[in-house]
Amino acid sequence: MPSPHLLNVHRHDGRNRALITLDGEIDLTSAPLLHASLRQCLCDGVHRMDVDLSTVTFCDCSGLNAFLTAAGQTAAVGSVLRLHHPQPMLARLFAMTGTGPLLLGPREATLRGPREPARLRAR
C-alpha cells in the first residue's frame, strides 16, 4: 500500500509575524492542511506571513490554489503573505502561471523566474 504524501508545517511566531516552514509535498491530500495553517495565522492576528519553501519537494495546482487563496485573504485584511526559497520546480510553476510577483514579490519573482530556452531567444 503506498504511503500518503506528507506535508509538515512548522510555525514560529514573533509579534505580528509568522514564519511558516513547509517540508514535503503539497498536493490534493495536503493542500487543506496548508490552507488551514495559513488561515489560522490570520485568525490569530498575524499581519505578515513568510513561508519557507526550501524543503518542499512537490507542489501541484491544489497547492498553488491554496497559496493564491491565502494571498487573497491576507490582502483583503491588509496583511502580507510572501513565499521564500522555492525550489526550481516551484519557481517554474510560479513563473509559468504568472503568480510569482503576487506570491514571491515583484523583485524576487524576477530574480527566480526560469530562464527562457535558447531556441526561443534566438528568434
Q: Does domain 7-115 have CATH number 3.30.750.24?
A: yes
Domain range summary for the chain, segments of one domain joined by +: 7-115
Over residues 74-110, the pLDDT tens digits come to 999 999 999 999 999 999 999 999 999 999 987 655 5
The pLDDT value recorded for residue 109 is 52
* Grid cell at residue 92: 517554474
Q: Residue 121 pLDDT more than 80?
A: no
39-82 pLDDT, tens per residue?
A: 999 999 999 999 999 999 999 999 999 999 999 999 999 999 99
For residue 122, pLDDT over 90 is answered with no
| Residues above pLDDT 90, as percent of the chain | 78
